[in-house]
Amino acid sequence: MTHSHSHTRPGHGPARADDTGLAELLDLDAALAGSLFSEVPNAASEALRDAPSIAVDLGAGTGTGTLALANRFLGTRIHSIDASPELLERLSAAATNAGIGDRVEPHLVDLDGDWPAVLPDSVDLAWAALSPHHVTDPARVLRQALGVLRPGGVFVAIELAGAARYYPEDLATGRAGLGDRIVSALARQGYPVTAEWTAALNSAGFIRVERFEIPFTASARTTEGARYLALQLARNRTHLSDELAADDLAALDAVIAALEVDDSELEQSQSRAIWIAVTPEHQGLSASDAKGPGR
Ligand SMILES: C[S@@+](CC[C@H](N)C(=O)[O-])C[C@H]1O[C@@H](n2cnc3c(N)ncnc32)[C@H](O)[C@@H]1O
């Protein structure tokens, strides 16, 4: 598979084959997300009139969204699209292990291309978690999503809502302000990649566009939380070598080492932004004409 776009923007493009930590991080992310994977499908369900027959997971990764949808909507067939063969293989294995392999159809397809071509005529629900910011032209993907969704169909997007915060703020290193210095240094490198989709969803023609946030906290008090934080901070560390003073980097290395041996009580919180948007009942109705009272 070839990709014509550049990968200069952080977080841009499909997952790289050599990014071995990403799959584990995505699975841990879902394991730690708590109510997010029930609250968001519930919000989608409220916005839909009937249970969805067909859903599509855009940039499905290891299948965390696919599995959440399959568990919430027991009769739904889910088309899972991603451009990473490695992640899609993991998704297929996860679907088989969960006993839902017969309802999940993985597609190795680039969202920068004609991905609607692999889908059935009418889709009830489209889900895009931490993926719309990766594509070259998100507005085009939103218009394509509007085109594949049936009238009254629902689009769900999830993104990081802002920078992480650490507790304690010095990451228990005794170096006051270390958390802030990490956050500022990452920001200078363009991380985290956040995005706002309200205006783009309205422009694409969706109606009843709602945005809300759900808090997300990872705590090293659990083994999964410690592993997640170790992976996150080790990935962040690669962007910080030229940004932080040597003493801060040494302290950060010690934090990562403590997390790796489960000897840390560090917490990180970083909210998720969620958008729920509806396809107009009548094709050709403009977004402003069709604007309803909301849920
Ligand atoms: C941060 S991961 C999120 C995965 C999953 N949605 C989740 O929430 O765990 C972003 C995913 O989007 C996929 N992706 C990025 N750009 C893509 C593109 N142009 N076409 C298809 N998939 C893409 C990546 O391969 C990766 O699996």
C-beta of 232 in contact with ligand 1 (< 6 A): no
Looking at residue 14, its pLDDT comes to 81
The separation between the first and the last C-alpha atoms of the chain, rounded to the nearest angstrom, is 41
Looking at residue 26, its pLDDT comes to 95
C-beta of 66 in contact with ligand 1 (< 6 A): no
Looking at residue 10, its pLDDT comes to 53
Q: What is the pLDDT of residues 79-99, one digit of tens each?
A: 999 999 999 999 999 999 999
Q: Which residue has a Cα nearest atom 23 of ligand 1?
A: 14
- CA separation (Å) from 23 to 11, 37, 70, 71, 109? 14, 18, 20, 20, 18
Q: Which residue has a Cα nearest atom 17 of ligand 1?
A: 14
- List the chain pLDDT tens, one digit each, 295 residues: 333 333 444 556 788 877 778 999 999 999 999 899 999 999 999 999 899 999 999 999 999 999 999 999 999 999 999 999 999 999 999 999 999 999 999 999 999 999 999 999 999 999 999 999 999 999 999 999 999 999 999 999 999 998 999 999 999 999 999 999 999 999 999 999 889 999 999 999 999 999 999 999 999 999 999 999 999 999 999 999 999 999 999 999 999 999 999 999 999 999 999 999 999 987 554 444 333 333 3
C-beta of 26 in contact with ligand 1 (< 6 A): yes
Closest atom, ligand 1, to C-alpha of 110: 20
pTM for the predicted model, two decimal places:
0.91
Alpha helices in the chain (DSSP H): 20-32, 36-47, 64-72, 85-97, 138-148, 178-188, 198-204, 223-240, 246-260, 287-290
- Measuring CA to CA, which residue among 39, 40, 66, 43 is closest to residue 55? 66
What is the CA(15)–ligand 1 centre distance, in A?
A: 6
Task: Tell me the β-bridge partners of 77.
Answer: 54
Looking at residue 19, its pLDDT comes to 79
